[in-house]
Chains A and B, each alone.
Chain A
Amino acid sequence: NAGVMQNPRHLVRRRGQEARLRCSPVKGHSHVYWYRQLPEEGLKFMVYLQKENIIDESGMPKERFSAEFPKEGPSILRIQQVVRGDSAAYFCASSLGAYNSPLHFGNGTRLTVT
């Protein structure tokens, strides 16, 4: 009974490169959330997606960041032209329904920009 799977666990990128973070939700879950966590801080909401649709991207910077959740395959968070300030842990969560359903989290991808 696989939970939320994120890969890679650790990702190192040089400034200016692209980072692609993948998230496979719990089987049967069609709601995906992405959060960012800086060291010693809480979770910051980035984006909420349902299959093939972005519902709320209000927490995601308008430039360089994008997210998708295609009909087939994992959800992808893409960061173009990374900068040092993008270094953080990025967590994906999925849920069975849009509300009244607990979020199930992956173990995160730790992005380091050198």
Chain B
Amino acid sequence: GEDVEQSLFLSVREGDSSVINCTYTDSSSTYLYWYKQEPGAGLQLLTYIFSNMDMKQDQRLTVLLNKKDKHLSLRIADTQTGDSAIYFCAENVAGTYKYIFGTGTRLKVLA
């Protein structure tokens, strides 16, 4: 089936690192994305990784990709209260217009 899985909740203390995990479905997916949704807003593209990469770093964000296990993770260093949001991973099935979104992980940052 086409299910991208994420854990529903994550709670961390301000200043700690957050790691949000995602298991995707299609081994041929070329691009994998992370989006952030704040309350009352749309999805904001955070970062993405091409499938021939293992890791991508962008300031406080690190994306790790394990193609063998079809596992994607997003690490947020020095997590701040402003990082509290829902994080969605998404895969673009290779050569198609189909984007499959995970159920979202609600990150709560405790001051």
Contacts and interface: CB of A to CB of B under 8 A. Distances in A.
Given A42-B88, A42-B102, A99 B45 contact: no
B102 A108 contact: no
Given A42-B103, A55-B97, A100 B92 contact: yes
A16 interface: no
Interface residues of A, number: 24
B88 A99 contact: no
A91 B42 contact: yes
Contacts of A107: 40-42
Given A99-B96, A102-B45, A42 B104 contact: yes
B18 to A, nearest CB: 19
Contacts of A106: 42
Interface in A42-93: 42-43, 45, 48, 55-56, 91, 93
Contacts, number: 54
B44 interface: yes
B45 A103 contact: yes
Given A42-B88, A42-B102, A99 B33 contact: no
A102 B88 contact: no
A60 B61 CA distance: 35
Interface of A: 4, 6, 31, 33, 35, 41-43, 45, 48, 55-56, 91, 93, 98-100, 102-108
Given A105-B44, A107-B40, 12 more contacts: A4-B42, A31-B97, A35-B101, A42-B88, A42-B101, A99-B30, A99-B93, A99-B96, A102-B31, A102-B48, A103-B90, A107-B42
Interface of B: 30-31, 33, 35, 40-45, 48, 88, 90, 92-97, 99, 101-104
